Amino acid sequence: MRTLITNGTIVTADGSFAADVLVDGETIAAIGAGLAGMVQSDETIDATGRYVIPGGIDVHTHMELPFGGTFAKDTFETGTRAAAFGGTTSIVDFAVQSKGQALRTGLDAWHAKAEGNAVLDYGFHMIMSDVNDDSLAEMDQLVTEGVPDFKLFTAYPGVFYSDDAAIFRAMQQTTKNGGLILMHAENGPAIDVVAAQLVAEGKTDPYYHGIARFPVFEGEATNRVIRLAEAAGAPVYIVHLSVIDALTAVREARDRGTQAFAETCPQYLFLSLDDLGGGFNGAKFICSPPLRDKDPNWEQLWTGLRKNDLQVVSTDHCPFDFHGQKEMGRGDFRKIPNGLPGVEDRVDLLHDGGVVAGRISRERWVEIVSTEPAKLFGMYPKKGAIAVGSDADLVVYDPDRVRTISATTHHMDVDYSCYEGRAIQGGSDIVMSRGSVVVRNGVFTGRKGHGRFIRRAPADYARLA
Ligand code: URP
Ligand code: ZN
Ligand code: ZN
């Protein structure tokens, strides 16, 4: 099957230009002006007035995550399907090692969840909850199997929490095997003290989830894990960075030459502590780190994205229904499952709030939602690029379309939207995964099981720093 995309404006991280794109089978076969008169194709897609961009890559999702006494609702099928509607063509999800388990057990379980179900290509990071001699040795094997990143937590004592010794040992291991440590950086033990004090005072509403998790707890933990990485001589990637205290730690580390990388998420750019108010409705907005004060954090995070102190915007997609799941925490915010839906909205929110609002260029938009995630997570130029030989993961994007986000029309398997009623400009007309059209003008044309495991290699972190 050969498909020709004509008359569009190709937008990449490096620049924009008018050209046609020829897709042959699963990959891009040619790029150039006037291809229409020169090549044969089975289908021609007219992209007049549209951007042609590499498909979005969301490197932080939690499909079917067992968490907070329940499970994140989207499966690999429903979650990747929703992602496709929003212009994302690859995800990297977090497989989980439970305490007392081998990494292998957790990774096998995630392969089983995804294989035959995912609509889009997917990779895995590995959550490590139990750092010991065996799991450290297993890390080396996982790197060779295309799972080169490992997430550890300074948060969630008793669940995913690792102490400094465990974190440091895992970092040392990556200096030998070439992998990357991803850190959830919040001071979990200190947060638990404050949370218990608030509950004892009768402050049990969702709002107090945001109060308990002081910005300095994220700043302290971010600085600490970066310092540990420096001591180990390892690169480090901070996930879901939410607040200026943590951003400052990353910026200072990068300024002194550390291979420190970080992502933020749409919820920290567009939602705030105010959303956690309003009684129990605030449960819809409970995630960790929590939503922060709008000022000065939103604009500081945008500045971080412009200046490359932040390299990636991912979603941390971890959806729980309001009814029946978030409701488990009525009367005690500590029992509300942590996590927000978002995999479907990321590319459009960043286009609207970033490009249309004049905060970032369209090239930087493509870079932070696709190209840089591909580079940092060992998928480039197979993914994240419009280049001959790259996978034909392409989006024909209408920069002018206006739509309103709503749970009544979204495709994520969750009963609310954090952005309900928000009008946004920009949307995907055609979404192509390895040469197959999976969404065409709002209609799903993909196939359960089309998605393949992306075997990733460690990146050259020194070069990307
Ligand atoms: O609240 C969140 N972020 N839930 C998902 C798990 C995690 O920490 O990433
Ligand atoms: Zn986390
Ligand atoms: Zn997460």
CA 218 to ligand 2 centroid distance, Å: 12
**CB-neighbour burial class of residue 372 (10 A; exposed 0-12, middle 13-18, buried 19+):** buried
Question: What SS3 string covers 412-425?
Answer: CCCCCCCCCCCEEE
Q: Give the atom of ligand 1 at the shortest distance from the alpha carbon of 286.
A: 1
CA 28 to ligand 3 centroid distance, Å: 32
User: Is 37's pLDDT higher than 90?
Assistant: no
Rg from Cα positions in the chain: 21
What is the tens place of the pLDDT at every residue in 203-245? 999 999 999 999 999 999 999 999 999 999 999 999 999 999 9
Strand order, beta sheet including 121-127: 56-61, 88-96, 121-127, 149-153, 180-184, 236-238, 260-264, 312-313
Q: Mean pLDDT, to the nearest integer, of 389-403?
A: 98
pLDDT score of 178: 98
Give the span between the Cα atoms of 286 and 278, in whole angstroms: 13
**CB-neighbour burial class of residue 430 (10 A; exposed 0-12, middle 13-18, buried 19+):** buried
Q: Mean pLDDT, to the nearest integer, of 260-276?
A: 98
Beta strands per DSSP E along 173-305: 180-184, 236-238, 260-264
**Ligand 1, atom 5, residue with closest C-alpha:** 339
pLDDT score of 68: 95
Beta carbons within 8 Å of 112's beta carbon, 6+ residues apart: none
Q: Give the atom of ligand 1 at the shortest distance from the alpha carbon of 151.
A: 9
What is the tens place of the pLDDT at every residue in 367-392? 999 999 999 999 999 999 999 999 99
294-327 burial, b for 16+ CB within 10 Å, e for fewer?
A: eeebbebbbbbbeeebbbbbbbbbbbbbeeebbe
- In degrees, rounded to 5, the angle at the alpha carbon of residue 124 between the alpha carbons of residues 364 and 392 is 50
pLDDT score of 36: 87
**Ligand 1, atom 6, residue with closest C-alpha:** 339
**Ligand 1, atom 8, residue with closest C-alpha:** 288
Which ligand has an atom closest to residue 68 CA?
1
pLDDT score of 302: 98
Neighbours of 280 (CB within 10 A): 18
Q: Give the atom of ligand 1 at the shortest distance from the alpha carbon of 287.
A: 1
Q: Mean pLDDT, to the nearest integer, of 351-368?
A: 98
Q: What percent of the chain has pLDDT over 90?
A: 99
Which ligand has an atom closest to residue 182 CA?
2
DSSP summary character for residue 309 = S
Q: Give the atom of ligand 1 at the shortest distance from the alpha carbon of 288.
A: 1
Mutational test site, ligand 1, from 338, 343, 418, max ligand atoms within 8 Å of CB:
338
User: Is 266's pLDDT higher than 90?
Assistant: yes
CA 432 to ligand 2 centroid distance, Å: 30
User: Is 262's pLDDT higher than 90?
Assistant: yes
* Arithmetic mean of pLDDT over the chain: 98
What tokens does 330 get? 């009525």
Q: What percent of the chain has pLDDT over 70?
A: 100
Whether the predicted model's global pTM rises above the 0.75 cut: yes
**Ligand 1, atom 2, residue with closest C-alpha:** 339
Neighbours of 57 (CB within 10 A): 32
What tokens does 160 get? 């995913």
Cα–Cα distance list, 58 to 65, 136, 300 (Å)? 16, 27, 22
**Ligand 1, atom 3, residue with closest C-alpha:** 288
CA 240 to ligand 2 centroid distance, Å: 7
Q: Please provide residue 361's backbone torsions phi and psi, each rounded to the nearest 5 degrees.
A: -75, 165
Half-sphere exposure (CA, 13 Å, Cβ side) for 160? 25
What is the tens place of the pLDDT at every residue in 278-325? 999 999 999 999 999 999 999 999 999 999 999 999 999 999 999 999
pLDDT score of 424: 98
Pairing of strands 260-264, 43-46: unpaired
What tokens does 3 get? 């498909």
pLDDT score of 109: 98
Q: Give the atom of ligand 1 at the shortest distance from the alpha carbon of 72.
A: 5
Smallest Cα–Cα separation from 213: which of 232, 236, 189, 235? 189
Residue 4: pLDDT band with limits 50, 70, 90: very high
Using CB distances shorter than 6 Å, the residues near ligand 1 are: 62, 184, 240, 287-288, 316, 318, 338-339
Which ligand has an atom closest to residue 92 CA?
3
Contact predicate 346/314, CB 8 Å: yes
Contact predicate 204/332, CB 8 Å: yes
Mutational test site, ligand 1, from 60, 93, 126, 240, max ligand atoms within 8 Å of CB:
240
DSSP summary character for residue 340 = B
CA 253 to ligand 1 centroid distance, Å: 24
Residue matched to tokens 């404050």: 194
What is the tens place of the pLDDT at every residue in 104-161? 999 999 999 999 999 999 999 999 999 999 999 999 999 999 999 999 999 999 999 9
pLDDT score of 211: 98
pLDDT score of 32: 96
Mutational test site, ligand 1, from 127, 318, 414, max ligand atoms within 8 Å of CB:
318
